[in-house]
Amino acid sequence: MESLNMITANIEIYFDTKESIERIRNFNVQRLPRDTELCDQLNFHDPAQKLIELYKRLSAVSLRDLPDDVLMTIQNNANCNYQIFQQILNFDFEQNNPGEARIMLLNQISAAYQSTFNALQQYIPNVLYRRSTDFQALKSDTRRMLQSAEITEQEYKALLEY
C-alpha cells in the first residue's frame, strides 16, 4: 500500500512540475514589454525571454527521470518565476519612482535566472548534448543524400551514354 502511495505521489509531483514548466514556457513574453504604456526604456522583454528560454531547454521526457526532490525544486522555481511575471504585468508606471521599481523587478528576474540556472544546469547539458548529437545525425543524413544524388547522377549519365 505504501509503494502505491509513493507511485501516486511521484506521478502527481511529475505532472505538477510539468504544468509549472509549461506555464513558464508558454508565457507570452510579448505581454511584458508594454511599450505603449511604459515606453522602450521601461520594458521587461529581454530579461524575461532569457529566463523563459532556460525552461525551454528542459525536455519533458527528461522530467520523468528526475527524482521528486529535483522536480519539486524545478516546480518551485517555475512558480516563483511566474509570480515575478505577474508582478511585471501588474507594474504601474504611475507609482512612486517607477524607475526604481522597474530596476527591482529586473534584479528579481536576474536573480531568478541565476537561481534557476543553478537548479537546472546539470540537466541542461544532456539536452545540449542531444542537440549536438541530432546535429551530427543531420550532417550524416545530408552526406548520405548527397552521395546518393551523385550516384544517381552517375547512373543516369551511364544510361544516357549506353
d(CA 111, CA 77): 11
- Would you say the pTM of this structure is higher than 0.85? no
The pLDDT value recorded for residue 78 is 93
> Is pLDDT at 40 greater than 60 in this prediction?
no
Using the predicted structure, report yes or no on whether residue 92 has a pLDDT greater than 90: no
Average pLDDT of the chain to the nearest whole number: 76
Contacts for 140-145: CB closer than 8 Å, 24+ residues apart: none
Q: Which of 20, 43, 21 lies closest to 32 in space, CA to CA?
A: 43
pLDDT tens, position by position, 94-147 = 888 888 888 898 899 889 999 988 888 887 755 445 545 556 666 766 777 666
Q: CA-CA distance, 83 to 104, in Å (whole number)?
A: 14
Mean per-residue pLDDT for 14-41? 74
Express as a percent the part of the chain with pLDDT over 70.
67
**pLDDT for 76:** 93
Better-predicted residue by pLDDT, 132 or 82: 82
The Cα–Cα gap between 108 and 92 comes to: 17
Element (DSSP H or E) covering residue 14: helix 2-25
